[in-house]
Structure 1
Amino acid sequence: MPTITDTVTTTDGSCPVTLHTPDGDGPWRGIVMYPDAGGVRSTFRTMADQLAGHGYAVLLPDVYYREGDWAPFTMSTVFGDAAERRRLFGMISKVTPERMESDAVAFFDYLADRPEVSGETFGTTGYCMGGRTSLVVAGRVPQRVAAAMSFHGGGLVTDDAESPHLLADRIRAAVYVGAAHNDNSFTRADGETLDKALSAAGVEHTVDWYSAQHGFAVPDNGPYDESAARRHWDAMQSFFAAHLV
């Protein structure tokens, strides 16, 4: 798939991005793909290519750009290495809802200005931390998001005042949550809470449970599950086809 390497100017600096498009002239509807806690790496560039192949212009941003030239994580070992785990969680903590929102505005403005992209509203999808970001952005920048997806997203329901589920009454997008089995970061009780919040707000949504562990959709994650990953690709294809038109 054709890929453009670029930067997006945000309120805090310059965010490196890649824009993945299908072959052909376009234009295509735009989607922002938010990576998991490990950040942008070859696995996610491949995934962005795969989503682009379904007929979309996919923006993949370096959500850790404020860290400068940060060293990539090895996902198979990061959680077992105390120093790397501390570094990872330190970086995660800096990706606040306020920063998610301000960055998203810049990403959407960038997509709206690209000749490869059509429309003024966009899709979002994300994994783990990125799944949370996808829903936060849908609630904080509602006028720009038509369809929001989250896969094994953590922290979608918390006791914090900035919990994503508390944004339900602001969301205009259709929402799909692909949840993992036995995931302490998004439990069955959390799913019920999110479902009730979205239903009360009149948000068209699905909370779908996968018989796989947290990380099931990302190939370089230890719990990657090929069958669940195929199911998640099918869900993305049908969901965006229905809601990003």
Structure 2
Amino acid sequence: MFEQEVLISTHHGKMPAFVVCPHKDGQWPTVIFYMDAPGIRPELWNMARKIAKQGYFVVLPDLYYRIGTVRFDLPRREETMSQVVRACISHAMNRAQILDDTGAVIGFADGQGQAKDGPIGLVGYCMGGPFITWAAEHFPDRVKSAASLYGVRMVNELEQSPHNFIGKVKAELYYGFAEHDNAAPPEVIAQLTKIMEEAGVKHRVEVLPETRHGFCFPERGAYAPAASEHVWKVLFDLWERTLK
């Protein structure tokens, strides 16, 4: 595999990112991987590698770069650390910033010889659920499919709430939720589904049985192997169909 840590120019400054793709001749469709709340860590690098092995140019940007270099030691997580994580989330959940950063990532990928021109895919976990929704709506000519796993704050009182944009998306969407997740209760899932149905958005919504928030992450206590592998299959089928 070819992999590299790079700095992507944005309106705010230099955004670190991890880039990985097959280490052989050819060009690969771009997939932007939006991190979850605990941020950049080896676990996410390994997930990016898993995507790249299927034939993709994957960019995993560090979306906390505006506040410096933020790294969490998750096995040692306790309430004090959780307070810092929540503060980082609040800083990152800004639609204008995410769209600016996404545009920068797309521009970066377009300048790389390994990245194929054309359709782009998105995947986001946890706080990345809103990000894939905002970006899919804002970049309709490039984003052809987007996936969210246990996305948070999908319905809220703010003007930038994802549910206000989801019905305008032209890409194919996948939303996978945990059965037990206070951040995505059944009424929120039902509302999102109704919006997509009424708008005619091509979508698939699943609630994975007997799962909790974070079930896709192999190093988290909530990891559910069967559900995680199911999601990987859904993602690879989605990208095979829409990006290649």
Residue ranges of structure 2 left out of the alignment (5+ in a row): none
1:41-190 → structure 2 map (5 Å cutoff):
41-70=41-70, 72-78=71-77, 81-95=78-92, 96-190=94-188
Contact residue 19 and residue 59 of structure 2 kept, 8 A? yes
Amino acid at match of 1:90: A
Deviation at 1:169, TM superposition (A): 3.4
Amino acid at match of 1:61: P
Q: Distance in 2 between matches of 1:153 and 1:119?
A: 28
Residue ranges of structure 1 left out of the alignment (5+ in a row): none
Q: Distance in 1 between matches of 2:40 and 2:52?
A: 16
Contact residue 149 and residue 175 of structure 1 kept, 8 A? yes
Deviations 1:12-52 (A, max 9, x none): 11001111101311201000011110111100000000000
Percent identity over the alignment?
29
Contact residue 38 and residue 88 of structure 1 kept, 8 A? yes
Amino acid at match of 2:143: V
Deviations 1:136-195 (A, max 9, x none): 211233332111000111112223221112102331110000111121111221111111
SS in 2 for 1:32: strand
Q: Does structure 1 residue 19 correspond to structure 2 residue 19?
A: yes
Deviation at 1:77, TM superposition (A): 4.1
TM-score using structure 1 length: 0.94
Deviations 1:32-75 (A, max 9, x none): 011110111100000000000111110011111112122x2122
Q: Does structure 1 residue 32 correspond to structure 2 residue 32?
A: yes
Amino acid at match of 1:165: H
Deviation at 1:126, TM superposition (A): 1.0
Contact residue 121 and residue 146 of structure 1 kept, 8 A? yes
What's the counterpart of residue 205 of structure 2?
Answer: 207
Contact residue 30 and residue 118 of structure 1 kept, 8 A? yes
Aligned residues: 242
TM-align CA RMSD: 1.3
